[in-house]
Amino acid sequence: MLSNLPFLSCAVLTLLAAIAAMTLRNLVHCALCAAASFAGLAAIYLQLNAEFVGFAQILVYVGAVAILIVFTILLTHGSDVKAGEPVRSSSLWTGLGVAAVVLSALVAPITRSASLWLLPSANPQAPVAAIGRVLMTQYVLPLETIGLLLTAALLGGVVIAMREKPARKTPTKPSRAPSRELSHAA
């Protein structure tokens, strides 16, 4: 039990943070608790001696995804919406059933997998050089596909954020005096 203490404390913190992220009233608090759960996950990865994944988890999730969530909340005034009465859905039991099915579909392969019985070793089994080599030779197709996916997401973001060209009837003449320009400004 004591030897598992680091893992147990990280796991408990992650779970608590995740539960808080779901149940807190203030939306920004939820986002920050989600970031804390990401950090807890990174701690678990690091305990498994998966250096690269752990640091990448912090860099990507805590450093970028959490900030993305926070920006979304701010830009859509989500923090103005106060949590009101809990919503009673009409399809509550159906939803619970589907959730149970999905959970069992996730848990079943995990419990039957062989990597549960692997022991963590002192030296990292996956030095970064090896990860890089494997990414570039064996897994290059998924890598490039992910790259394409990210590019598509980036382009989508740019398109959504792009301002539309304003349709102006009278173009502002820059040679006029500033006061008149102000009155013509669209």
Residue 35 engages other proteins in binding (rule: CB under 8 A): yes
Per-residue CA distances from 172 to 108, 163, 165, 178 (Å): 67, 19, 15, 11
Nearest approach, Cβ of residue 102 and other proteins (Å)? 30
Residue 124 engages other proteins in binding (rule: CB under 8 A): yes
- The Cα–Cα gap between 12 and 43 comes to 12
Residue 43 engages other proteins in binding (rule: CB under 8 A): no
Q: Find all residues with CB under 8 Å of 82, minimum gap 6, and list them.
A: 25
Closer residue to other proteins, CB minimum distance, 67 or 98 = 67
State the angle between helix axes of 27-47 and 66-75 in degrees (0 to 180), rounded to the nearest 10.
170
Nearest approach, Cβ of residue 83 and other proteins (Å)? 15
Closer residue to other proteins, CB minimum distance, 96 or 136 = 136
CA atoms within 13 A on the CB side of 55: 5
Residue 177 engages other proteins in binding (rule: CB under 8 A): yes
Residue 21 engages other proteins in binding (rule: CB under 8 A): no
Residue 64 engages other proteins in binding (rule: CB under 8 A): yes
Q: Which stretch binds other proteins (CB under 8 A): 5-13, 87-95, 99-107, 124-132?
A: 124-132
Nearest approach, Cβ of residue 22 and other proteins (Å)? 19
> How many residues contact other proteins, by CB under 8 A?
28
Closest-CA residue to 43 (of 70, 27, 62) = 62
- The Cα–Cα gap between 134 and 143 comes to 11
How many residues can be counted in the chain?
A: 186
Residue 71 engages other proteins in binding (rule: CB under 8 A): yes
